[in-house]
Amino acid sequence: MKRALDFAGAGILIIVFIPLLVLISVFVLIDDGLPIIYRRRVVGQDGEFAAFKFRTMRRDADALLDRNPALKAQFERNFKLKDDPRLTRLGLYLRRFSVDELPQLFNVLKGQMSLVGPRMITTAETDKYGSNKELLLSVRPGLTGYWQVNGRQAVDYEERVRMDLHYVNNWSLAMDLKILFKTPFVVLKREGAY
């Protein structure tokens, strides 16, 4: 039932958002050139895969991080930067409104992600889950999820882990529907989005 909801929901949302996807693609191209899509390497139920996002960072983002040890250390603690100097002008707004993640609807169609699930994480982040790593990877990561509607970046990493595990341990279709309903309101408030 969850997979059917994912497939139907992602298909409908892609059709609805086609004009927006095209428009954002053009703006990304004008703002900072190619590539338009960033393929973030993350882990899921079937191992590592490329999660699609509109590119929000400068092309030299990794080099910029490597040149600033303090910034790199901050990133490695939380895997996020509040005032990220790597963002492009457009990227700042795409992140604030969470539209940079719309291309992940194609990951949902491919069966790599779900509309609702735990956060998408990299291989390096799996150590933060300790003995619960296997449990986390037993389900598909979500385009949205329990963490996204209950604090987002306003909570520390340990709390994010707890929220992910709460979702996996207490999953129900009703919970997914509630999260899907709350997501647009949280996105529009832009609380904890960066």
pLDDT tens digits for range 107-159: 999 999 999 999 999 999 999 999 999 999 999 999 999 998 987 767 888 99
151: which 2 tokens?
Answer: 């604090």
| Cα–Cα distance list, 194 to 21, 132, 153 (Å) | 20, 27, 7
d(CA 185, CA 183): 5
Give the CB-side neighbour count of residue 101, counting CA atoms within 13 A.
Answer: 20
Output the pLDDT for position 194: 47
CB atoms within 10 A of CB 42: 20
Output the pLDDT for position 188: 85
Mean pLDDT estimate for the chain: 91
Q: Render 11-67 in DSSP notation, one character per residue.
A: HHHHHHHHHHHHHHHHHHHHHH-S-SEEEEEEEETTEEEEEEEE--B-TTHHHHHHT
What pTM does this model have? Answer: 0.90
pLDDT in tens, 146-194: 998 987 767 888 999 999 999 999 999 999 999 999 999 888 886 655 4
Task: For helices 173-189 and 2-32, give the axis angle rounded to 10 degrees.
Answer: 20
User: Which residues are CB-neighbours of 142 under 8 A, at least 6 positions away?
Assistant: 113, 114, 115, 116, 117, 118, 119, 120, 148
Q: Which has the higher per-residue pLDDT, 82 or 165?
A: 165
| Torsion angle (degrees, nearest 10) of CA 123, 67, 71, 190 | -80
Burial of 16 (0-12, 13-18, 19+ CB in 10 A): exposed
pLDDT in tens, 13-58: 999 999 999 999 999 999 999 999 999 999 999 999 999 999 999 9
d(CA 47, CA 29): 31
113: which 2 tokens?
Answer: 């992600």
Output the pLDDT for position 193: 54
69: which 2 tokens?
Answer: 């040890």
The DSSP secondary-structure symbol of 143 reads: E
